[in-house]
Amino acid sequence: MKNFTHDELNLTAIYNTGSREGTIKALADMRGYLEQDEQELRTLTDSTISKLETISDAKYEALDLYPEFGDDEASDKGS
């Protein structure tokens, strides 16, 4: 199994439908709405989908899918 990056796991957690196949579909659907200037998110989405397609459903269920946002974002909300 390929190792997921922190950003790939966060993206997977955000679009997690409860199943590997459903999450792949949700990510693919979201990708269709990306604009040309969102290349970084497009690349992240592509790598995430690619990795999800290579793992089993059991390995998907074992992933720690809780989005982790940096302290900077949390402190920005309080300002």
Is residue 35 classed as helix, strand or coil in its secondary structure?
Answer: coil
Is 37 contained in some domain?
yes
Is 76 contained in some domain?
no
Q: Has residue 46 got a pLDDT over 50? A: yes
Q: Has residue 73 got a pLDDT over 70? A: no
Q: Has residue 6 got a pLDDT over 60? A: yes
CB atoms within 10 A of CB 22: 12
Is 38 contained in some domain?
yes
Structural domain total, the chain: 1
Domain housing 10: 6-64
Given a contact cutoff of 8 angstroms between Cβ atoms, the answer to whether 8 and 23 are in contact is no
Q: Which residues contact 53 (CB under 8 A, 6 or more apart)?
A: 24
Is 10 contained in some domain?
yes
pLDDT at 72: 54
Task: Tell me how far apart the alpha carbons of residues 16 and 27 are, in angstroms, rounded to a whole number.
Answer: 9
Is 40 contained in some domain?
yes
